[in-house]
């Protein structure tokens, strides 16, 4: 049985900013950080989230264990990370519960990088992007929705995620 703390809405702000570099070419957007990511103070912090394993499978090397190692690897592979939503009411980590969403401002990332593609991590990130972001981007950068790396997306295995994501996150070297 879920505790009452896990079943109540909380109004939360995105607790950490975007991760991007001047040479970033691909921007991966999630919906909003999970409880574990908020605790880790970085993206895809849940140990069962397959995001870092998907990147390792595509690029053929470890993404690192520490935030600094992951940041350096992201810089090397020209990938930026952020989320579609900057603040919202949410129950735990449930994307389905998101309401009263305030979108992130993507202009700094788009203005200070070489972003050529926006990759949305999962259907919810895709629908939130369409609702809150696509008009502001104005077709300036194409986007694609990929299968979620979340442990909640158990129907899609790691090999399938690596294959699908690998079609758009081709190694740059």
Axis-axis angle for helices 51-59, 158-166 (nearest 10): 60
Strand partners, 168: none
In sequence order, what are the residues at sequence separation of 6 or more whose Cβ sits closer than 8 angstroms to the Cβ of residue 171? 58, 59, 60, 77
Is 138 inside any structural domain? yes
Write out the residue range of the structural domain in which residue 74 sits: 11-166
Token output for 115: 């972003």
Residue 10 CA to residue 154 CA, distance in Å, equals 26
Is 137 inside any structural domain? yes
User: Structural domain tally of the chain?
Assistant: 1
The answer to whether residues 63 and 52 touch, using CB atoms and an 8 Å cutoff, is: yes
151 or 159: which leads in pLDDT:
159
Residue 83 has, within 13 A of its CA and on its CB side, a CA count of 24
Calculate the average pLDDT of the chain. Answer: 91
Token output for 107: 């202009």
The listed range with the strongest mean pLDDT (12-16, 80-84, 150-154) is 80-84
Is 5 inside any structural domain? no
79-105: average pLDDT: 92
Is 171 inside any structural domain? no
94 or 17: which leads in pLDDT:
17
113-129: average pLDDT: 96
pTM, entire model: 0.91
Provide the pLDDT for residue 96: 85
Is 2 inside any structural domain? no
Provide the pLDDT for residue 135: 80
89-99: average pLDDT: 88
pLDDT in tens, 11-37: 988 989 999 999 999 999 999 999 999
Is 172 inside any structural domain? no
CATH number of 44's domain: 3.40.470.10
Is 32 inside any structural domain? yes
Tell whether the model's pLDDT for residue 3 goes beyond 80: no
């Amino acid at each position: 049985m879920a505790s009452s703390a896990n079943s109540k809405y909380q109004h939360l702000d995105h607790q950490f900013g975007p991760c991007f570099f001047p040479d970033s070419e691909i921007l991966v957007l999630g919906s909003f950080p999970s409880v574990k990511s908020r605790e880790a103070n970085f993206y895809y912090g849940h140990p069962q989230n397959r995001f870092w394993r998907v990147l390792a499978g595509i690029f053929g090397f470890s993404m690192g264990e520490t935030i600094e190692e992951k940041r350096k690897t992201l810089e090397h592979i020209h990938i930026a990370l952020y989320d579609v939503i900057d603040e919202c009411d949410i129950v735990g980590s449930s994307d389905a519960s998101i309401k009263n969403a305030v979108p992130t401002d993507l202009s700094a990332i788009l203005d200070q990088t070489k972003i050529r593609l926006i990759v949305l991590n999962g259907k919810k990130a895709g629908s939130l992007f369409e609702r809150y972001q696509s008009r502001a981007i104005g077709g300036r950068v194409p986007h694609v929705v990929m299968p979620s790396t979340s442990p909640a997306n158990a129907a899609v295995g790691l090999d399938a995620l690596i294959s699908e994501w690998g079609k758009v996150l081709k190694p740059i070297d």
